[in-house]
Structure 1
Amino acid sequence: MNITIDQQGNSKVAIIESDGIVINNAQDALDLMASVRYSDDADKLIIDKSNITEEFFELKTKLAGEILQKYVNYHVKLAIVGDFEGHNSKSLRDFIYECNNGKHVFFLKNKDEALQKLHNIS
């Protein structure tokens, strides 16, 4: 796993890159958040959807809700980037829509969109 920091003014965004799954469960998500927050002093993260277990996108597992609630509780912003069109679940599409209209978690097409969104949100 490689973590790079993109900084614009006082806004720091940690960009997580990996060839494999980084988040398999809620503890992995917490560990990643803590590592980035304390090592790199960043409270905004970007991660590719390919680095998150597929169970996250099956809402009935409740993994997405558990992870995202922790990020909201700790005031950490998260952007998940990738192509979400392949998911046929109406509930997932609704979930993504609601997240994208909020202030904490975003599902975006690419890193550039994610950087723009996260740097412009407080």
Structure 2
Amino acid sequence: MADTVQELSGVKVLVCDAAGPAITTVQDALDLIGATYVGAGIVAVAADRLDDKFFVLSTGFAGEVMQKFVNYHVRLAVIGDISRHLEASSALRSLVRESNAADHVWFLPDTEALAAHLAGRA
């Protein structure tokens, strides 16, 4: 399956193929942002595609990636189970909690939860 644009709760979302290439650099994130020019305002990417350094906040990688999405006015949804990362880091737990309450980056278990999240924001 390739990346596809889907409408979730009335919002166009670029749903990235879980089997797609790993996101290991800021340029990889920028490539996803560029792919939204087909009309999507949100990128939904499988957590498994993100390099583990994304979940180790001291690397700065998550901050760089998230800032790029904010700068380009594209929202990011990290989709999937990140429980092993959350267990390892109280800072990450805080980031996820704060991000999910805000408007640009969300961490959700699946696209159904993303659709519900978007419906609740409408």
Q: Tell me the SS of whatever aligns to 1:46.
A: strand
Change in 2 beyond 3 A, CA 1:8/1:99: closer
1:81 corresponding residue in structure 2: 79
How does the TM-score come out when normalised to structure 1? 0.87
Distance 1:73 1:67 in 2: 10
Change in 2 beyond 3 A, CA 1:25/1:113: same
Change in 2 beyond 3 A, CA 1:62/1:3: same
Task: Provide, for residues 58-111 of structure 1, a one-character-per-residue CA deviation record: whole Å limited to 9, x for no partner.
Answer: 101000000101101111011101112212210111111111111000001111
Counting aligned pairs with the same residue, the percent is 36
Segments of structure 1 that go 5 or more residues without pairing to the other structure are none
How does the TM-score come out when normalised to structure 2? 0.87
Distance 1:27 1:67 in 2: 9
Structure-to-structure mapping, 1:1-122, within 5 angstroms: 2-7=2-7, 11-35=11-35, 37-38=36-37, 40-87=38-85, 88-118=88-118, 121=121
Q: Which consecutive segments of 4 or more residues in structure 1 shift more than 3 A?
A: 118-122
- The amino acid across from 1:4 in the alignment is T
Number of corresponding residues: 120
Change in 2 beyond 3 A, CA 1:89/1:114: same
Segments of structure 2 that go 5 or more residues without pairing to the other structure are none
